[in-house]
Structure 1
């Protein structure tokens, strides 16, 4: 026996079945416009009974929207960054879905803007989320001059660029201040890629903590672009020769490489040197010993970025008004 195919209703079908106008049905669905409560309830009961779902394509055409948002991901991201991007993407997708938007992922190769040009030319998206803030980015410069609304994840010194960011500078300052208050006076800093704006934010927090505590920064203990094992190993060798009493790493990846180098040299943490990270991860939490780190809510960061873009697009997400916070997780590595 063949199953009868379920009918897919349109607004016109509903209007005809109920003997009302299409405008009345539209007003009942949207909740806008003047119709009686009885008529509104009657339309909604019919919709529920027949599992009517608005045609997003038709809705988009009527409102000149695609209901798509582009998420620009860096093609050069490394495997160790995957968890950050995954959590951030989860937050973006969750927020977009709640407002009936879909996410189109586009991998951007350095300064190549051809994919963005194609998205814009073909009117495939209503807005763009840029997932990494890069200093002097050609992508950012292009977006400022194109017609598509966009939001940046990460800090920007340009007042014309809308962005959402964790409190990296404030958190970096607090973590460094805690270590200085513990009596460390010769802190080393292992920094990340200087082309990323977040590196500048965390470095500024490190400097501000020293200035506020009246402790001089030892320039011989500042190491930037330590984004590979060779660079980290060289930095660890030099900071030990310089007599560093503590190490602050800008992120969990650098910290993991630093721990590996210290183990190679048979340097015990925290007995012989203390170490902390400006970004937490499960690896650092479950390390032996567990590493003092800053915990950010990356899923919420993604939600906030999407909420701000939706606000620009005319939606009114409540999440746009929320703030992003962090926690300093004090663990055995700085005891």
Structure 2
């Protein structure tokens, strides 16, 4: 591997001169600078970025830990985060945990041994107790789109106003005239969506009977099975004219079941999802959904994380003990990050919803 010593010898200058040219520091004549750069190119010099970055107390690498890439929502977030970080000269590592907390803990330990600067952790991918443990050690962490049944204290978090998302879905279906409405929900992780939806129905004088709530696990298959339950023959209640699925993937499964039954969307059953994944706009019919602004979610999470990384780097640059070795790293970063940032959702009306065929 070519070193600055090789360049100095070829250019006939001191090693310190080469170092100044390559780092952009010090006073070097233009002729000397051009000669050094010429020999650096000719010899195929590649700077040791790891050594340089470690001298700045960072590696410019961020890890994104998520539950699965099987749901298209997560790859869309991954792409947005990677794009934003690349503009800041950061590399991104991605890890799936498949909802396995033990695997999440193992992934975290491996990443920490690779000098990752910080972590964006998405909902259901790790045990919150493990995350809190690492955060208390001074590890820069941001929770992104965290599950709605947990309110982790002190850890910076960026999420969506899911209660409002549920309200938007209910308001849309009520405005169309639907009164027999059902829900497919992944409980308890998505309870705010359900509560927002249920509250809006109640304010309109409608209750959401237990028979009109079916459980899913955020997968397409579970949406299919839940819709079959809701439309099954022999229910005491008349079949619903509309279904709200608390993510698009389950909504797609529900739509498939409705079509397999020989029914029409939206003439017989209107369907609303939540996420606005790319494929939702290209179905037949295109899916009405509650959109999550993924780029803004990624931007907010990245800003919070980079602020923590910068603060941690400055603290280590003052020769304080490394985070996690006798210091309260979380306390060092107080005031650097806001505890919670809420991103507003929006309604996207497409052709999967319409006025009900029957009163």
Q: 1:234 aligns with which of 220, 225, 229?
A: 229
Cα distance change on mapping 1:104 and 1:78 into 2, 3 Å: closer
Instruction: Give TM-score scaled by structure 2 length.
Output: 0.70
Q: 2:53 aligns with which of 53, 60, 69?
A: 60
Aligned residues: 310
- Give deviations 1:20-41, integer Å, cap 9, x for gaps: 9799769856xxxxx89xx899
Aligned to 1:157: 151
Are residues 1:205 and 2:196 paired? yes
Cα distance change on mapping 1:179 and 1:232 into 2, 3 Å: closer
Are residues 1:87 and 2:79 paired? no
Q: Tell me whether 147-156 or 129-138 shows the greater mean CA deviation.
A: 129-138
Deviation at 1:329, TM superposition (A): 1.6
Are residues 1:216 and 2:235 paired? no
Contact kept, 8 Å, 1:276 with 1:291, in 2: the verdict is yes
Cα distance between partner residues in 2 of 1:293 and 1:310: 32
Cα distance change on mapping 1:17 and 1:299 into 2, 3 Å: farther
Structure with more contact order per residue of length (Cα contacts < 8 Å, sep ≥ 6): 2
Deviation at 1:189, TM superposition (A): 0.8
Cα distance change on mapping 1:53 and 1:136 into 2, 3 Å: closer
Contact kept, 8 Å, 1:72 with 1:130, in 2: the verdict is yes
Aligned to 1:119: 111
- Give deviations 1:192-217, integer Å, cap 9, x for gaps: 2x253xx1232232123224x43332
Cα distance between partner residues in 1 of 2:58 and 2:126: 31
Are residues 1:166 and 2:160 paired? yes
Cα RMSD for the two superposed structures: 3.9
Cα distance between partner residues in 1 of 2:46 and 2:125: 41
Gaps of 5+ in 2: 312-336, 355-359
Deviation at 1:313, TM superposition (A): 0.8
Cα distance between partner residues in 1 of 2:162 and 2:281: 19
Cα distance between partner residues in 2 of 1:191 and 1:238: 21
- Give deviations 1:231-263, integer Å, cap 9, x for gaps: 431233279752223211111221111112212
Cα distance between partner residues in 2 of 1:136 and 1:202: 22
Cα distance change on mapping 1:247 and 1:44 into 2, 3 Å: farther
Contact kept, 8 Å, 2:214 with 2:229, in 1: the verdict is no
